[in-house]
Amino acid sequence: MTSRAHILKAIRENLGQAPSPELPPVPVVWPTTSATPSELCKRFVEELRAVHGEPIVVQSCDDAAAHLRELANAAGWHQALVLDRPLAREVVAKADLGWETTLVPDDPQPRDLAAFPVAIIQANYLLADTGSCVVVCGRAGERISCYLPPTCVVVAEASRLREHMPAVWNELVKRAENPDCRGEFVIITGPSRTADIEKILILGVHGPKRLIVLVVG
């Protein structure tokens, strides 16, 4: 047997036999406090307003639908792109907008979605310390809907409020470590902004110009 054959035989015999390395503990970046739900909501509202977002806190899905109807009438929307998730569908259905709503397709051409003035999406988590919305996007269409329409309306239950990213990290890891899980996590913190052009702040260049978050419950 040649030296090459010996080496390949040793590799075949030893592949997969080593135990999986034990993962180190997740370091504490920011400690988690015992903030109450009302305190988390207040902090989220303050932080979102600081980055030019528009938070609206409501008690029920019916209230959220009423606000969505008022927003649509004020802005003159005549069609909407809707993320196919329970709360988003329910709010849109109860709003009874009277015009076209389209569920986000799995893998659309971006130009096909360019005509929609607003996207209505559902967040998986709300981060109080930065006023951010975390959206788990399993398909390309879900990701595009967060960026392309000039207005993004996010709906989320108040129970999805978390203090900061470390407080939600373990929940995200459980999903990310699933080999059958595809996609990405999109973190939305206010409307799109850039100051690249002579240090003048411009909204809506790389994403939605307007961000509205309906916190339900």
- Looking at residue 21, the DSSP 8-state letter turns out to be P
The two tokens of residue 198 are 């002579």
pLDDT at 215: 98
27 is a domain residue: no
- Specify the pLDDT at position 16: 63
pTM for this model (two decimals): 0.82
Q: Is 73 part of a structural domain of the chain?
A: yes
Is 12 part of a structural domain of the chain?
no
pLDDT score, position 124:
96
Amino acid sitting at position 84? D
Residue 25 is assigned to a structural domain of this protein = no
The domain tally of the chain equals 1
Residue 142's domain is classified under what CATH number? 3.40.50.10420
In a domain, 3, yes or no: no
Report how far residue 136's alpha carbon sits from residue 184's, in angstroms, rounded to the nearest whole number: 6
> Would residue 187 count as lying in a domain?
yes
pLDDT along the chain (217 residues), means of 10: 84 72 76 89 96 95 96 94 94 91 85 87 96 92 89 96 92 82 87 74 76 96
Give me the pLDDT at residue 44, please. Answer: 97
In a domain, 172, yes or no: yes
| Residue 71 within any structural domain of the chain | yes
Residue 92 is predicted with a pLDDT of 95
Q: How far is CA 76 from CA 34, 54, 94, 143, 214, in A?
A: 42, 18, 18, 25, 19
Residue 46: domain span: 35-216
pLDDT computed for residue 193 by the predictor: 72
Residue 212, token pair as written in the block: 């509205």
Tokens standing for 59? 């008690």
